[in-house]
Amino acid sequence: MSIGAARVSEKHANFLVNDGAARSQDMQALIALVKKQVYEKLGVQLQEEVQYVPCSSWVDTASVLF
């Protein structure tokens, strides 16, 4: 299952993979699709553990630690 360059890992369905060009919108759409399909097939409502942080163009990327 994939949207754009975002896909669900073949090794573990809980891992989302960026094939190099995925945008945040691709990831968010893929998450929504996975949640919808799981609910429709299994009746389980998945909850994200991710906290979304808005992107801002003024952030100095050199000061961000990875």
Q: Which domains are present in the chain?
A: 2-46 (3.90.78.10)
pLDDT by 10-residue block (mean), the chain, 66 residues: 91 89 90 93 92 67 52
| Predicted local confidence at residue 57, as pLDDT | 58
Beta carbons of 33 and 3 less than 8 angstroms apart:
yes
Inter-CA distances, 7 with 10, 26, 65, Å: 9, 9, 26
Residue 26's closest CA among 48, 50, 51, 8? 8
Outline where DSSP puts E strands in 1-66. 2-3, 6-8, 16-18
| Predicted local confidence at residue 56, as pLDDT | 64
